[in-house]
Amino acid sequence: MGNTALKLVVPTDVNRTNEIKTPLRRPNAELRTREYLTPAEVDRLVEAVRKNRHGLRDSMMVLMAYRHGFRCGELVDLRWDQIDFAHSTLHVRRSKGGKPAAHPIQGDAVRALRKLRKDDPHGEFVFVSQRSAPFSEAGFAKLVERAGRDAGFTFKVHPHMLRHACGYKLANDTGGDARRIQDYLGHQNIRHTVRYTELSPKRFKDFRW
């Protein structure tokens, strides 16, 4: 009778399924030099888009995103029933569970919005495409990025920089009043607001060298 002893065979291939990890996306702070624009840079961006074929619409999208701290989705979803022309007031609806608020609208913006309304007296959305469809988030992102290049910026500009620019300006204007900024931007948690007060150089105005 032959040798019935079994020989242990060590497998040559190793299952590495558990060793493979999906690469994590690096934080935006590591990919970009900064996340906000200064008021002067916003002005350059507005001037750049005014030269577009639909300059009034495009410049108002940039201006409203900046002055009211809109996220991209909030901006393109802006509807005419949110605008009270009689009292120059904008009723802001926030996404991501943010708190709604009523913002004053400056005179130059009121006049520009009236012109847009005259061009589309029965429309529902404030910002629409050539086909009268609501402007898309991707479309606005492309508009802002192109405007950044036209304005001569050496860094890539994206729509959320306008919301951050709003927070940055408010932090400087209010001396870092986080509660007021929180209400204006609709943050649920004030820790999202504090980033703007941390950016404000006015915190260090008493330093002497």
Active-site positions read: 71, 96, 160, 163, 187, 196
Q: Collect all residues with Cβ–Cβ distance below 8 Å to 180 and sequence separation of at least 6.
A: 170, 174
Q: Which residue has the tokens 């400087």?
A: 172
Determine the topology of domain 34-200 in CATH: hpI Integrase; Chain A (1.10.443)
What are the two backbone dihedrals, phi and then psi, of residue 79, each rounded to the nearest 5 degrees? -120, 160
Would you give the end-to-end CA distance of the chain in angstroms? 97
Alpha-helical (H) ranges within the chain are 28-31, 39-49, 55-67, 72-76, 107-119, 137-150, 160-174, 178-185, 191-199
Q: How many CB atoms lie within 10 A of CB 70?
A: 26
Q: What is the pLDDT along the chain (209 residues), one digit of tens a residue?
A: 555 555 655 555 555 545 555 555 445 444 456 788 999 999 999 999 999 999 999 999 999 999 999 999 999 999 999 999 999 999 999 998 889 999 999 999 999 999 999 999 999 999 999 888 999 999 999 999 999 999 999 999 999 999 999 998 998 888 878 999 999 999 988 888 888 877 677 776 767 77
Domain assignments of the chain as residue spans, ordered by start: 34-200
Q: Could you tell me the pTM of the whole model?
A: 0.80
Q: How far, in Å, CA of 33 to CA of 199, rounded?
A: 14
Cα 163 → chain centroid: 5
